[in-house]
Structure 1
Amino acid sequence: MRIVELADVPHRPVDAHHSRGFTLGALGVTADAHVVVVSLRPGGVVGRHPAAGRQLLVVLDGDAAVAGAEGPAVTIGPGQAAVWEAYESHETRTVGGLLALVVEGEIDLR
């Protein structure tokens, strides 16, 4: 066994799709999916873009206002997750900051 400190995962800033205050760090990659740590500063945004594959965003700390292709944004917190289907347009915003795990690709979800 080994312990992974999420704060120690190398992060890179992302500004694509008009994102602000957004960094991500790769945790793992398979032929079918990848797992990343997402951080948003208070007031940060992951700009609207299409999901490359089915995408699961799991909130670990903070708040996330998540929106898909239709309907208004919904705010979720720790212990909650958002799922977007492949190619679905979506965005994520935060008021107070966000730490989340994202799994994207060929994943089966219940």
Structure 2
Amino acid sequence: MRLFTMPSRPIERFDSSGVVVDLLPGLLGESQITVAHVAAGGTIGAHPTAHRQLLAVVSGVGQVRGEDGTVQGIGPGSLVLWDTGESHQTWATTDLVAVVVEAVGVIDLARRFPEGLDDHANVVHQA
């Protein structure tokens, strides 16, 4: 077994505020995985994705916006997928923790991940 420390850094690009990310190792240089900590009232500012991007909410409540401008609520268990080049933004209503995966390849959501409203979380999932 080997133990490592995840490096952390604040994110201020794109007018982001209240955001700190923990960096995880990439996969074959084709993906980037981070853990985003967004303080209540903070935002990951509007910007286009460099690759397909998946936001998986671990804790907290917030909102996301995609290319079409629609704002949707998110909470624990929400998965949000943005396509390459899609402009998007995330806001935290409460302190929010999410795993962010940026991938060049396919993100397979076909079978195990239902798209749409989750009655238990009362939030909308996008895929």
Q: 2:22 aligns with which of 15, 25, 29?
A: 25
Q: Separation in 2 of the partners of 1:3 and 1:70?
A: 43
Unaligned runs of 5+ in 1: none
**1:82 maps onto 2:99 in alignment:** no
Unaligned runs of 5+ in 2: 110-127
- Choose 1 or 2 for highest CA Rg: 2
TM-score between the two structures when normalised by the length of structure 1: 0.88
Change (3 A) 1:87 1:13: same
Q: 2:11 aligns with which of 2, 11, 14?
A: 14
Q: Secondary structure of the residue that 1:17 maps to in structure 2?
A: helix
TM-score between the two structures when normalised by the length of structure 2: 0.77
Q: CA deviation at 1:87?
A: 0.6
Aligned residue pair count = 107
**1:34 maps onto 2:32 in alignment:** yes
Q: Separation in 1 of the partners of 2:6 and 2:41?
A: 22
Change (3 A) 1:101 1:2: farther
Q: 1:62 aligns with which of 60, 63, 78?
A: 60
- Pick which of 23-32 and 97-106 moved more: 23-32
Task: State percent identity of aligned pairs.
Answer: 36
Q: CA RMSD in A?
A: 1.8
Higher relative contact order at CA 8 Å, sep ≥6: structure 1 or structure 2?
1
Q: Secondary structure of the residue that 1:71 maps to in structure 2?
A: coil
In the alignment, which residue of structure 2 is the partner of 1:73? Answer: 71
In the alignment, which residue of structure 1 is the partner of 2:93? Answer: 95
Q: Which runs of 4+ in 1 moved over 3 A?
A: 1-4
Q: Separation in 1 of the partners of 2:69 and 2:15?
A: 21
Q: CA deviation at 1:3?
A: 8.4
Q: CA deviation at 1:107?
A: 3.4
Deviations along 1:52-107, one digit per CA (max 9) or x if unpaired, are: 10000000000130110003210111111100000100000011111000000223
Q: Separation in 1 of the partners of 2:86 and 2:16?
A: 17
